[in-house]
Structure 1
Amino acid sequence: MAKLEHYRETVQKALSDYAQMRFGSSSRPDLEIQTLFDCQHDHYYLAYVGWQNDSSASQSVRRVYSPLLHLDIKNEKIWLQLNTTEDDITEDLIKLGVPKEDIVLGFHPPQMRQFTDFAVG
């Protein structure tokens, strides 16, 4: 149970740090960056939400819902389900004390995970 709590805190810290870093450098003031933590079911998200002005059309705005990161914790492993950033969150998790064998690249097909340096599932 201590490992699970550590992973929950680690994932929340990593996503909060990403949110702070992106919010502080965002050139899109009309977008909100949201961290969504479902600690009961161990689902963790970072997403842009809001409206963006379309500069190519006068008075045109478009709705933005853009997930950036999605991580789950399953069977005491951290599953990276989605990463649409150019940042390597796995390296940040490792720096925060998560061993590679407890990180699953869930966006890879199961038969391909054996060829990564991370857990297969």
Structure 2
Amino acid sequence: MERINYRELVQTILKRHSIHHSNDDTEVQLIFDTERNHYQVLHLGWEELRRVYGCIIHIDIKDGKIWIQRDGTETGVANELVTAGVPKQDIILGFHAPYKRKFTEFAPG
């Protein structure tokens, strides 16, 4: 069985999410640092008089594992990764405290 290219998969998933969050008044930026394996989806702009700026998704790939640092999606990026064939032991929910990770179905990190 051929190993999944985590870089390509993460970029594909983030590109798909960037389409769902864009509108006329705000912009979505994809930030891919492929040299250091950092990937983000940012939401920024203005909604009337209110500034919009925030990270929707932040993923790092470290030591062959996918670290989800921020997941502001409804479906859950971890679920999308599993559906795409990534083993749960290769996914770390970095947004959970280290002591809580052992209670999830994913890798403790």
TM-score computed with the length of structure 2 as normaliser: 0.90
Secondary structure at 1:70 match in 2: strand
Secondary structure at 1:82 match in 2: strand
Which aligned pairs between 1:27-106 and structure 2 lie closer than 5 A? 29-53=24-48, 61-106=49-94
* Aligned-pair CA distance for 1:20: 1.7
Rg: which structure is higher? 1
* Aligned-pair CA distance for 1:85: 2.5
Report the identity percentage: 44
* Structure with greater helix percent: 1
Q: Give unmatched runs, 5+ long, in structure 2.
A: none
CA-based RMSD of the aligned residues comes to 1.6
Counterpart amino acid of residue 30 in structure 1: D
In structure 1, the residue matched to 2:18 is 19
Equivalences, count: 108
Secondary structure at 1:107 match in 2: coil
Report runs of 4+ in structure 1 exceeding 4 Å deviation.
none
* Aligned-pair CA distance for 1:49: 1.2
* Aligned-pair CA distance for 1:21: 2.6
Q: Give unmatched runs, 5+ long, in structure 1.
A: 54-60
Counterpart amino acid of residue 70 in structure 2: L
Q: How far apart, CA to CA, are the structure 1 residues paired with 2:64 and 2:85?
A: 14
Q: How far apart, CA to CA, are the structure 2 residues paired with 1:65 and 1:78?
A: 24
Secondary structure at 2:60 match in 1: strand
Query: Deviation digits for residues 12-60 of structure 1, max 9, x if unmatched?
Result: 000001112333xx4xx1100111111111111111111220xxxxxxx
In structure 2, the residue matched to 1:57 is none
Secondary structure at 1:44 match in 2: strand
TM-score computed with the length of structure 1 as normaliser: 0.82
